[in-house]
Amino acid sequence: MSLDFTVAIPTYNGATRLPKLLEKLLQQSNIKHLNWEIIIVDNNSKDATAKIVESEINNWQYSYPLKYYFEAEQGAAFARQRAVREARGELIFFLDDDNLPDTNWLAAAYIFGKEHPKAGAYSGQIHGAFEGEPPENFDKIKQFLAIREHGDKPHLFDADSLRLPPAAALVVRKQAWLESVPSRPFLTGKLPGVMVQGDDYEPLLYIHKAGWEIWYNPAMHTYHQIPQWRLERGYLLTLARGCGLATCSLRMVDVKNSQKPIIILRTILGNLRRVAFHFIKYRQQLKTDLIAAFEMEFFLGSLFSPFLFLKTSLNRRK
């Protein structure tokens, strides 16, 4: 039997974070009349995640079930694919294990989905909950840490310009995903030693190109828990490069082979220009201004992204 919605939590080494998220889900309001479930997809964790979830399941006393699935293929994209396969809900509410929902998040998400039947995916406001003080001018790059505050009016995302919501607190319509998204992603998500991003956006681009709408719903509020180490220079610059490296691969989603050389050329020339102008403007501050250095790393990653796309494409053909 199909349920109203599924809350899907992909996790990797989330033993210390999952209990707090489950507690937040138990505090949700205005959903007693709905049929739903919680599924946790353990993406090959090395910590006590499985034991923590097993303990939660053994002590579970609620009408909506809590289920555990193990996904051995590493990468957030594979964990999301597994969640979609296992979900019984018409709507799938993805929550990262470090993204805590407001008490009305589930109700607001469900209502929006019912009011917008053409919405294949939608997200809301994601606020930062910082362990430490963000760097100066952090607002310029906060979207790279899945912080999204786009005002108080609903609107469609500009998917053609790669302006899309992250997967941290994303709702997808199961029908839209199954009809549109390939079973094998091109971008897999972060792997040990590899920080290439873009796995959030790839399925959304397929959903958009299949004719579904992608919305911003400001009534949905979540809070992204950001530890101090994610605000340090080394991590941020690695993140910036990883986001940039996904640029060309994302622009190649569902395009004809005849268009690919043009996209590659435009990506290289456009980012050569951005790198040159940024260096001229900030060359004296790149070692001291973290935000300027972050932007340079993103531009460099975008410049090299066509070569990563070509390499990955060749490896997939072997």
% of the chain residues with pLDDT over 70: 97
- Under DSSP, the state recorded for 60 is -
pTM equals 0.94
Q: Please give the Cα distance from 42 to 204 (Å, whole number).
A: 22
pLDDT score, position 192: 56
- Mean pLDDT of the region 263-280: 98
pLDDT band at 2 (very low <50, low <70, confident <90, very high): confident
Give the model's confidence band at 174: pLDDT under 50 very low, under 70 low, under 90 confident, else very high.
very high
Q: What does the pLDDT look like over 124-149, one tens digit per residue?
A: 999 999 999 999 999 999 999 999 99
Q: What percent of the chain has pLDDT over 90?
A: 92
pLDDT of residue 196: 80
Q: Are 126 and 41 in contact (CB under 8 A)?
A: no
3-state DSSP call for residue 219?
strand
The angle formed by the CA atoms of residues 281, 242 and 215, to the nearest 5 degrees, is: 95
Average pLDDT of the residues in 45-57? 97
Cα 202-207-212 angle, rounded to 5 deg: 150
Separation between Cα atoms, residue 215 and residue 123, nearest integer Å:
7
Residue 208 has a pLDDT of 98
Residue-wise pLDDT for 84-121, tens only, equals 999 999 999 999 999 999 999 999 999 999 999 999 99
Q: Pairing relation of β-strands 89-94 and 155-156?
A: unpaired
Over range 264-286, report the average pLDDT: 97
CA angle 57, 60, 62 (to 5 degrees): 135
Which two tokens mark 223? Answer: 């809070």
Residue 227: CB partners within 8 Å, gap ≥ 6? 131, 132
Q: What is the mean pLDDT of residues 268-282?
A: 98
